[in-house]
Each structure stands twice: as C-alpha cells, then as structure tokens.
Amino acid sequence: MPENFDDYDRRLLTELQRDAGRPVEALADAIGLSRNATWRRIRRLEEQGVVTGRVALVDPEKLGLGLTVFISVRTDRHDAAWAEDLTKALKAFPQIIGAYRTSGDLDYLIHARVPDVKGYDDLYRALIKRIPLKDVSASFVMEEMIETTALPV
C-alpha cells in the first residue's frame, strides 16, 4: 500500500469498485469528503498505479457466453521460450479471460467464457493447433456461487 493510504482511500476504492461510473459528487458523499478532495484522491490513486483502469462489467449470458470453463494444463515444457509462445497463443483468443502459471499438480490454469460445450471444443481445437499441449482437462462451471472483481481494501 502507498505510504499515504488512509481510511478515506479505502472507502473510495470500495466505492469505485462498486461503480466507477458514478459522478465524483456521489462518490464524495459516499465517503464523506468534498468533491475536490475526492477528485484529487482519485487522481493520486491513478498516478500511483493503485487504480489501473475503469471498466464496465458486462453480463456474459446476454452476450451468449453462458459457459465458464477452467482449463487445466500440465506440460513437460518449462523453458522460457515455450512459456512465451503459450502466452502469445492464449492472447489470440478473446474467449480466454484469464491464464495463470500455478504451483502444485497443474502447470497452467486457463479461465474462459464460451457459449456452450461446442464452443469450448472449438476453442480447444484452435488452441492445440497453435501450441502443443501435453495434458489438458476442462472443468465446466455448473453454478457461479461467488464471483466479483472487487478486491478487499
């Protein structure tokens, strides 16, 4: 945390994570500061890299992306060049919304949103054409119990 981070900053970050599109006046009312003080804090948090962007959250169901898939990958390749090639391949697919190198039994965990099982199969086939993968398995989400973009502050 930045050294000049205080309770107002925490409250402001909580409010921004709820709805960054609100007017500064509404944010100021929510955290108990003036409009100008709130605006200065937002700018400072952006300049410090604490706030890295402002986005709109979109309902994936309404876009026809109703199936969440977690794809587990195990590989016998661990060199930097292969990892770079994997990263490039993953970035080529807009259906892939997260990818992580992990510890433990899995080497990589990929998070994707697709229309259905056929959409996953299409993604899988296209991905293995771009890069060789040794052991791939998929888990389809049956129910989203908790999903948030908000970090605890």
Residues 6+ apart with CB under 8 A from 15: 22, 27, 30, 31
Res 1: pLDDT: 67
Joined tokens for residue 153: 């502050």
State residue 4's pLDDT score: 81
User: pLDDT digits over 54-86, tens only?
Assistant: 999 999 999 999 999 999 999 988 899 999 999
Structural domains in the chain plus CATH codes: 7-47 (1.10.10.10), 61-140 (3.30.70.920)
- H or E, element range at 133: none
Chain mean pLDDT for the chain: 95
Q: Tokens in use for 41? A: 């804090």
